[in-house]
């Protein structure tokens, strides 16, 4: 069950007007197509681990305990390709020699890592788990690409899970997870891995996205996975109080809600202030949802995400009575 929540955003804010100064774009163009007004960007010398530590510290404070048995870090932007970043986060948080590892499902990372953390608890391998979604996605972008730069921001969000009962507030599950590697080219950084370590084409080292195709797949897959979870948990559309989707694009969120038959006011949205923070987007939306009163204890919450891979998934939870750290 969900027992702690925290988030952290880099202090530097880049608004649409600043981007308009060096990109062929405008505040109106960005807002109309994405719903984004600003995003937070890491400064030179700051890293994914730095952000994860800050979010993790806040989630542990929210939980009222630092006693966790494992740390799962969802990220597509680790500080190094090797080793994983999670052990460094655990060390800096002073958590001792606990199990710590990374999960990379890109923008679906939070849902995938949440399922992983819940699985550790269900299997008896851990009593409580700190699960962090953190990405410095702006480090993967071509600074001249107006198709990606306005969309993404950096940040970290974290939750603490502990063992509990199915009827408790904060209970999470079931989960529904999927992938389709045949469509990997839709969202990709071609170079930098074992297949193509370097490239003479600078663009191969940057993230690229086929926007229209991604839009179609994201809305269809998130809606499909959400329906599966509702069926498994026994909810109808009228039972859902809040829908927290991956904060990729306001039009994707509205289109997914429409496919599900959910009213627009059921959406928990913070994309205007954060942009797309990849694996951090859902927990950061949770933090804002609690702080602005959108999320209330007892709410039936549907959660769904879609990302590169392709990966997608969904889960459900009863919102607990907690205060973000």
Residues that are catalytic: 107, 246, 276
Distance CA 131, CA 86 (A): 10
Distance CA 164, CA 297 (A): 16
Distance CA 38, CA 242 (A): 24
C-alpha pair distances (Å), 226 with each of 114, 146, 219:
16, 31, 11
Token look-up 């990302």 returns 307
In three-state form (DSSP H/G/I as H, E/B as E, the rest C), the secondary structure along 261-305 is CCCHHHECCCHHHHCECHHHHHHHHHHHHHHCCCCCCCCEEEEEE
Burial class (CB in 10 A: 0-12, 13-18, 19+), 146: middle
User: What is the DSSP track for 162-194?
Assistant: E---TTSTT-EEEEEEEE-GGGGGGEE--SSSS
Maximum Cα interatomic distance, the chain, rounded to a whole number of Å: 56
Q: How many residues does the chain have?
A: 325
C-alpha pair distances (Å), 301 with each of 112, 200, 294:
17, 47, 11
Distance CA 165, CA 162 (A): 10
From first CA to last CA, the distance across the chain in angstroms is: 17
Rg (CA), the chain: 18
Q: Is 230 helix (H, G, I), strand (E, B) or coil?
A: helix
């Amino acid at each position: 069950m969900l027992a702690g929540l925290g988030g952290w955003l880099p202090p530097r804010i880049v608004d649409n007007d600043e981007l308009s100064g060096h990109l062929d774009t405008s505040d109106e163009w960005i807002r109309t197509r994405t719903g984004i007004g600003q995003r937070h960007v890491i400064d030179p010398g700051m890293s994914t681990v730095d952000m994860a530590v800050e979010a993790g510290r806040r989630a542990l404070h929210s939980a009222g305990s630092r006693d966790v048995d494992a740390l799962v870090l969802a990220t597509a932007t680790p500080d190094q390709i090797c080793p994983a970043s999670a052990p460094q986060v655990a060390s800096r948080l002073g958590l001792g020699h606990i199990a710590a590892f990374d999960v990379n499902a890109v923008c679906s990372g939070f849902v995938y890592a949440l399922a992983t953390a819940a699985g550790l608890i269900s299997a008896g391998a851990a009593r409580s788990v700190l699960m962090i979604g953190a990405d410095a996605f702006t480090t993967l972008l071509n600074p001249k690409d107006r198709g990606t730069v306005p969309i993404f921001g950096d940040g970290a969000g974290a939750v603490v899970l502990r063992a509990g009962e199915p009827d408790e507030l904060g209970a999470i599950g079931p989960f529904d997870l999927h992938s389709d590697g045949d469509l990997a080219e839709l969202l990709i950084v071609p170079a930098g891995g074992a297949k193509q370590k370097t490239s003479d084409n600078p663009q191969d080292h940057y993230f690229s996205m086929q926007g229209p195709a991604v839009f179609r797949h994201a809305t269809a897959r998130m809606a499909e996975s959400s329906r599966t979870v509702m069926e498994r948990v026994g909810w109808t559309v009228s039972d859902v109080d809040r829908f927290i989707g991956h904060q990729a694009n306001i039009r994707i969120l509205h289109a997914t809600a429409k496919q599900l038959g959910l009213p627009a006011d059921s959406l928990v949205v913070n994309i205007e202030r954060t942009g797309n923070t990849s694996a951090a987007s859902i927990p950061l939306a949770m933090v804002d949802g609690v702080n602005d009163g959108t999320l209330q204890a007892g709410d039936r919450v549907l959660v769904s995400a879609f990302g590169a891979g392709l990966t997608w998934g969904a889960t459900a939870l009863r919102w607990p009575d907690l205060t973000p750290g």
